[in-house]
Amino acid sequence: MRTMARTLLAAFVALLLVVSPCHARPAPQHTAKSSSPKEHKAVVDGITTIYNFGDSLSDTGNLLREGATGMLQYTTGPPYGSAIGGATGRCSDGYLMIDFLAKDLNLPLLNPYLDKGADFTHGVNFAVAGATALDAASLAKRGVSVPHTNTSLAVQLQQFKDLMSTSTRSPQEIRDKLAQSLVMVGEIGGNDYNYAFSANKPAGNGERSLYNFGRMATGVVEAMALVPDVVRSITSTARELLDMGATRLVIPGNFPLGCVPSYMSAVNETDPSAYDANGCLAPLNLFAQMHNVLLQQGIRELRRSYPGATVAYADYFYAYVRMLRDAGEAGFDEGAVFEACCGAGGDGAYNVDVDRMCGAPGTSVCARPEERISWDGVHLTQHAYRVMADLLYHKGFASPPPVVFPRST
């Protein structure tokens, strides 16, 4: 009981970090605008366009253009984006998985949908940090509020439809365009669970008591109850895109939450039985896997309904675990795989302080971000995102392969 209570407390406290998205200043021009067609290399596997839906794991600047709100004022500038010349709206020190995927496809970086002056010829990014799979009204009926953005997955899908209606002349033209496109549906859904935890935060100063344990247990139950609806929202969106003509979709699962430094720091559990063989908190990983299992069931149904399309499951969970296991080979500091690069944890094992996120007074950045997996305790470093992209799209962790890359010579 004691271990479970502390794990539940960890889930809530750490989720408070996750639900507060990264914000940033507008991107430097050299990273915001698409390259000219003359700079493009050969088309890879017939893909000329990427459309991306999601949250802070792939937002490249939409939230800041919405007018970001929240407590994390310190994440609106440096050191975010320090590896790419300045803050751009990406929740990392540099580029994200979606950026590396675009580069690997010889395509320009995706511009955010809300950058109305941008070139959308080769793709659009609809992802917004803090976004949810369910809309705000649906969550409100369950007593869950959405604090940062109303741009849910349904809103992002409508934005896509609006763009298609203004840039094409017929449904057939949309189908023709989608036939040459890669469509990324997520990762999204994690914030739905986070906000459910937040709605049942401990009273007072978070002291341990039967009452607060009851509140946290309620949060866990309500988050679990959301899983079928969250998964249904994701697969329904994918179904609409397939009906419109999409032929290649990627649907990612959730990260192993129990391996994320912010969660691990919050619980600071000393009981070895709470951890798995990789050093991660087992109960939180089980919750993430519950979402992933249901999502994969939904993906199998999509494959049966659309046998002519490729619907890939991007296994963020096990790609992350592989990155942990092979940390040294990938160039990470094996002694710091659970330690955030930017934070204020002092001599703690995770360098995470829930009251001072990266960029706040008293926080500092590690000397070698490229040797860390975690950037701010929640999001990953540019190097980690590069490794994840390689595992997913070049080493089989997205299955079936959504893209066939040419073999290196």
Cβ neighbour number for residue 290 with a 10 Å cutoff: 15
Catalytic residue check, 56: yes
Domain covering 49-269+280-315+383-399: architecture: 3-Layer(aba) Sandwich (3.40)
Per-residue pLDDT at 37 exceeds 50: no
Instruction: Please give the Cα distance from 313 to 333 (Å, whole number).
Output: 29
Residues 12-39: what's their mean pLDDT? 43
User: Of 99, 315, 353, 376, which residue is the catalytic one?
Assistant: 376
User: Of 23, 122, 148, 379, which residue is the catalytic one?
Assistant: 379
Per-residue pLDDT at 36 exceeds 70: no
User: Of 56, 58, 152, 233, which residue is the catalytic one?
Assistant: 56
Per-residue pLDDT at 308 exceeds 60: yes
Ramachandran class of 186: left when φ > 0, alpha when ψ lies in -120 to 50, beta otherwise: left
Catalytic residue check, 347: no
pLDDT tens digits along 152-208: 999 999 999 999 999 999 999 999 999 999 999 999 998 888 788 665 555 454 455
Q: φ and ψ at 183, to 5 degrees?
A: -115, 125
Answer whether 330's CB lies under 8 Å from 391's CB: no
* Cα 259 off chain centre by: 15
* Number of helical (H) and strand (E) elements in the chain, helices listed first: 13, 8
The distance in angstroms from the start CA to the end CA of the chain is 57
Q: What is the per-residue pLDDT for 17?
A: 39
Catalytic residue check, 379: yes
Per-residue pLDDT at 9 exceeds 70: no
Q: Are strands 123-125 and 49-53 parallel, antiparallel or unpaired?
A: parallel
Domain boundaries, given as residue ranges, for the chain: 49-269+280-315+383-399
Q: Which residues contact 43 (CB under 8 A, 6 or more apart)?
A: 106
Instruction: Please give the Cα distance from 226 to 221 (Å, whole number).
Output: 9
* Cα 230 off chain centre by: 15
Ramachandran class of 288: left when φ > 0, alpha when ψ lies in -120 to 50, beta otherwise: alpha
Q: Tokens representing 50?
A: 């990427």
